[in-house]
Amino acid sequence: MKSLRQRIVLLLILAIVTVVGLATFAASRVLQPPPQDDRIDRLARQLMVLVAFAEKDPQAARAAGLVLRDTPQTGDFSDRMMSERLSAAFHRAGSAVEAQVNLQNEPHRATASLYLGPERWLVTELNDFGPPPGGWIVLAGWGFLIVLGAACVSIFAAAKIIRPLQLLQDSVGRVGPDGTLPHIEETGSGEIRATAQAINRLSARLKTAMESRMRLVAAAGHDLRTPMTRMRLRAEFITDEVDRQKWLSDLEELDQIADSAIRLVREEVNDDKAEKVELGSMLCELVEELRLLGHPAALAERQTVTVSAAPLALKRALRNLVINAATHGGGASVRLAVDDNHAIVSITDEGPGIPENLMEQVFEPFFRVDAARRKAVPGAGLGLAIAREIFERFGGSITIANRRPHGLEQTIRLLRA
């Protein structure tokens, strides 16, 4: 019972059934018929009149319709309890008559055989003292109707109570890749309107914050360019060859970082139109291109499958991942498979992998795993952030997992076009 809606429904059903159950119990107590003993005493007194009549003048009694027999009536069941209670009632009324009560198999028919003397019995029909016909079925139907009614009311009430939460859950679930929430209609009851307004306000603030972050990154990347060009010029005049090379390579790295930052921002605001892309040949071209640049990469398996994405952006994203496997992982092996709905690209390497606790952080912009590795492979820590941005924009996803005994597997799923 995990969902709040189910808990509320169950609680409401319990509350309603308990209240109605208690009310029914109280009503049945208040509206009870007189106690059974009273009724049996009255019956015994009436029967005593018949007994007296039958004993005094059996002939006349028979003529009046009373049944006088040598043997008691035999029924389908003898009701011992009722027999004892009726006999006790006779004794209370000062008579020694013994009674035998029999139940017939037909519903609610009983006869009493009253002992008048050896081989003399008065047999008469009795009123029914049992519960009303079909008592248990009526009670079960009554209970069922209460539970059914309570369930309907509870489900409706729970849906109403949960509505603001549902609204929150729906809109948070639809957060776009740019971190903004969809606009929600501000209608309905007070609480729902308040929730919708709060979500819309949050969405507007998030949008402003995202935009200003992007402007800041883009401006910083852009503005760094001019002083870096001046520094590069000055570095050219350094006479010590080793020193000059160090300056130039540091400046080159700075340049790349500024470039990647601008590219990330560009991806976030990009709305390139998606078109059909044949993924097999794109991967083939990409691997060839990277091999020419000296990266150890191979396409181990390919299929022909089309996906819907902006080709340049998709290639950029895949390139970032293959380069990661080739540089951080020492060699990239690329596979393209398909299932019913997806094209699945898997890029594996046999490098050191990524510590499990940093698996999510490596997708953060400017995050790189450790200082020792940073020196070996220059970069800004933006490749994975840019790649994820692009895949998600086209409805895809990327996951990474360490391999045994070592290495990393990057898996991309894209919807087939």
Ligand X SMILES: Nc1ncnc2c1ncn2[C@@H]1O[C@H](COP(=O)(O)OP(=O)(O)OP(=O)(O)O)[C@@H](O)[C@H]1O
In the complex, the residues that contact ligand X under the rule CB under 6 A are 260, 320, 324-325, 328-329, 349, 351-354, 362, 367-369, 373, 379-385, 408
Amino acid at 275: E
Residue 382 near which of Mg ion, ligand X, none (CB within 5-8 Å, type-dependent): ligand X
DSSP 8-state secondary structure symbol assigned to residue 125:
E
Per partner kind, with CB cut-offs from 5 to 8 A, the member of ligand X, Mg ion, none near residue 354 is: ligand X
Residue 190 tokens, joined: 């007070």
We find the least distance from the C-beta atom of residue 296 to ligand X, in angstroms, to be: 12
CB-nearer residue toward ligand X: 271 or 360: 360
Give the nearer residue to ligand X in terms of CB position, either 206 or 344. Answer: 344
> Do the beta carbons of residue 279 and residue 305 sit within 8 Å?
yes
Q: Which DSSP letter does residue 130 get?
A: S
Q: How many angstroms separate the CA atoms of 102 and 368, rounded? A: 94
Token digits of residue 107: 């519903």
Answer with the entry of ligand X, Mg ion, none that 373 interacts with (C-beta below 5 to 8 A by kind).
ligand X
Nearer to Mg ion, 163 or 295 (CB): 295
Please report how close the Cβ of residue 277 comes to ligand X at its closest, in angstroms. 22
Least Cβ distance, residue 365 to ligand X (angstroms): 8
Could you say whether residue 383 binds Mg ion (CB under 5 A)?
Answer: yes
Question: Minimum distance from CB of 396 to ligand X (Å)?
Answer: 17
Give the one entry of Mg ion, ligand X, none that residue 221 binds, where binding means its C-beta sits below a cut-off of 5 to 8 angstroms depending on kind.
Answer: none
Q: Which does 349 bind (CB under 5 to 8 A by kind): ligand X, Mg ion, none?
A: ligand X
- Minimum distance from residue 364 beta carbon to Mg ion (Å): 13
- Torsion sign (Cα): 269, 275, 279, 281: negative
CB of 259 to ligand X, least distance (A): 9
Place of tokens 């991942």: 321
Instruction: Choose the contact partner of 369 out of ligand X, Mg ion, none; CB within 5 to 8 A by kind.
Output: ligand X
Residue 9 tokens, joined: 């429904």
Residue with smaller CB distance to ligand X, 192 or 354: 354
Residue list 225-284, contact with Mg ion (CB under 5 A):
none
Pairing of strands 332-338, 342-348: antiparallel
Strand pairing partners for 305?
none
The CA radius of gyration of the chain, in Å to the nearest whole number, is: 45
Q: What is d(CA 412, CA 409) in angstroms, rounded to the nearest whole number?
A: 10
Q: Could you tell me which stretch among 246-254, 275-283, 292-300, 324-332 binds Mg ion (CB under 5 A)?
A: 324-332
Q: Tell me the sheet residues that pair with 77.
A: 103
3-state helix, strand, coil in the chain (%, to 5): 55, 15, 25
Which of 393, 257, 286, 289 shows the shortest CA–CA distance to 347? 286
Closer to ligand X by Cβ: residue 334 or 382: 382
Interface residues toward Mg ion, by CB under 5 A: 324, 383
